[in-house]
Amino acid sequence: MKTDKGCIFCKIIAGEIPAVKIWEDKEFMAMLDIHPASIHGGHVLIMPKEHFELITDVPDNVLKDMGIAIKKISGALLKYGEGLNVVQNNKKVAGQYVPHVHFHLIPRFENDGVRIEKWEVNNYNRGEMEKVASKIKKLMK
Ligand code: AMP
Ligand code: ZN
């Protein structure tokens, strides 16, 4: 199993740094984020125990199992709060500060002040949407 000596999440998984764990199995660990997105808390981070940096680095079978684990914890968090956001950041420009792949599970409450879904909206110029879609489709090959 790959680990990274400098990685804070690898250190938590190895038991070298304390954390408040919610759930774990052989492959994954879920813990409370030390800085919850809202005053209501319950913000959970779930990650593979093996060190991968980006979502695209995670093997398909591991990612499938992680999807099931995310669903399990999401069920509890939807009862804890009134709604739930699942967020996963890749690379610094997208807000990834810990380079060990993880999903944020953020319980939501009325007027909780969390700003995830309220980004500024933009518009495409005429014909631009089709061009962008074609570019992405080519990149998928
Ligand atoms: P990201 O910005 O997506 O890389 O998220 C990293 C998250 O890890 C942040 O929300 C931090 O609050 C959280 N975090 C960092 N160190 C710890 C720690 N020792 N225990 C729990 N959560 C942590
Ligand atoms: Zn790591």
Q: Which atom of ligand 1 is the closest one to the Cα of 96?
A: 4
pLDDT tier, 107 (very low <50, low <70, confident <90, very high otherwise)? very high
pLDDT tens digits, residue range 58-79? 999 999 999 999 999 999 999 9
Ordered domains of the chain (ranges, CATH): 8-111 (3.30.428.10)
Residue 90 CB–ligand 1 contact under 6 Å: no
Report pTM: 0.96
Mutate to test the pocket of ligand 1, among 89, 93, 98 (most ligand atoms within 8 A of CB): 98
DSSP assignment of the chain: ----TT-HHHHHHTTSS---EEEE-SSEEEEE-SS-SSTT---EEEEESS--SSGGGS-HHHHHHHHHHHHHHHHHHHHHSSEEEEE---SGGGT--S-S--EEEEEE-TT----SS-PPP--PPTTHHHHHHHHHHHHT-
Residue 41 CB–ligand 1 contact under 6 Å: no
